[in-house]
Amino acid sequence: MAETQLHHRHIRHQGDDMKHTQLGTRITLPLLPALLLITNTAIAGPEIPTKFTYKGSIANTRHNLTQRPPDNPNNLNGVFMDTVRNNYGEVCVYCHTPHGANSQINAPLWNRTLTQAGIDGTYVTYDSLGTSTLTASVAQPGVNSLTCLSCHDGTLGMDSIINMPGSGLYDVNQETSQNDSFLNDWNNASGTDATSHWGFGANNTECLSCHSNPGFPGASDFSIAFIGTDLTNDHPIGVDVPTGRFGDDFFAPNGASSGANWSLEYYDTNLNGRADKDEIRFYDTGSGARVECASCHDPHGVSPDGNPATEFNPTFLRISNDASAVCLTCHDK
């Protein structure tokens, strides 16, 4: 623990004051590593209690970005978290807004900044591996993946939204570029305001500087959730559904629905004629049916039996992957 350091990408903020209301003093960010060492009982230790029951609703999952360690005067974890992200006090606002949604992406009432790799089309895709086993073409991630990657590629702050709660806290420029000055206008309810706006980061920076660091055992390991902009180590997304191989290597979806700018093909397991949360699907947003992140994952969580008292499938999967059930929904093996 004595050699643990907190790596901070935003060097420009090192002279900024960080309020610490519990101690009645002001400290600067360069002193933060020393503070963490001195108060290691507040940082280290067993998994910190949370409301992450993964039951009932998204509010009880890690996609509720208002979550923080339990409030108490001696808890420095929550104080530090409030210096690097805005706690908006609302669950849905980190992704959705009823007004002033992002006009650059056809996602429902989308409130987040678009990732630069999504704008430029510079994600490194699966077919860059040069594998001979991939027979379908792979494009850049579609809208139903870009929404997920706006957090999970690690290039944007978790709190990088366009329309913050309340009046007058809107910036259309946030649609395509994170503006830290705008985000600094938010006042955290704790009284400790963010002077940096962290995403997952890379190379164990930003959120991962604690949440992938053995020196901070009280901070859950988020490494599995950090994807980055190199997608070659994940299931292909933006990949065409190989319709010519239905009945050979793939099962054909038996359901379909469409709207003005989209269509779905899905595995209608209960034969009710609609795509339910617990059914794998393919998205067509203008270039044919493709596999995207949301084909297999529902960011709001899915209970395997529809019972709100039952824990959601792990990693927000639409169905449990016991006995490779997710894979075998599509792949005829």
For the ranges 38-47, 92-101, 238-247, which has the lowest average pLDDT?
Answer: 38-47
Q: Which residues of 276-315 are buried (b: 16+ CB within 10 A; e: fewer)?
A: bebbbbbbbbeeebbbbbbbbbbeebbbeeeeeeeebbee
Residue pointed to by tokens 């209301």: 21
Tokens of 291: 């596999």
- How much is the average pLDDT of 291-305? 97
Query: 239 with 257: CB under 8 angstroms?
Result: no
Residues of the chain with pLDDT > 90: what percent?
63
Confidence check: pLDDT of 220 > 50: yes
DSSP reduced 3-state for 327: helix
Instruction: Give the tens place of pLDDT for each residue, 127-178.
Output: 766 656 777 888 999 999 999 999 999 999 999 999 999 999 999 999 999 9
For the ranges 63-77, 226-240, 306-320, which has the lowest average pLDDT?
Answer: 63-77
DSSP reduced 3-state for 309: coil
Confidence check: pLDDT of 237 > 70: yes
Nearest to 201 by CA among 218, 222, 179: 222
Confidence check: pLDDT of 47 > 70: no
Confidence check: pLDDT of 71 > 70: no
Residue pointed to by tokens 């595995």: 267
Q: Please state, in angstroms and rounded to a whole number, the distance separating the CA atoms of residues 47 and 19.
A: 26
**DSSP summary character for residue 95:** T
Q: Return the pLDDT at 75.
A: 61
Q: Please state, in angstroms and rounded to a whole number, the distance separating the CA atoms of residues 7 and 197.
A: 14
Q: Please state, in angstroms and rounded to a whole number, the distance separating the CA atoms of residues 198 and 79.
A: 15
Domain ranges of the chain: 1-233, 241-330
- How much is the average pLDDT of 250-271? 94
Q: Please state, in angstroms and rounded to a whole number, the distance separating the CA atoms of residues 96 and 90.
A: 10
- How much is the average pLDDT of 67-93? 78
Q: Return the pLDDT at 95.
A: 98
Q: Return the pLDDT at 45.
A: 40
Cβ neighbours, 10 Å, residue 96? 17
Q: Which residues of 22-38 are buried (b: 16+ CB within 10 A; e: fewer)?
A: eeeeeeebeebeebbbe
Instruction: Give the tens place of pLDDT for each residue, 5-36.
Output: 333 333 233 333 333 333 333 333 333 433 33
Q: Which residue has the higher pLDDT, 39 or 128?
A: 128
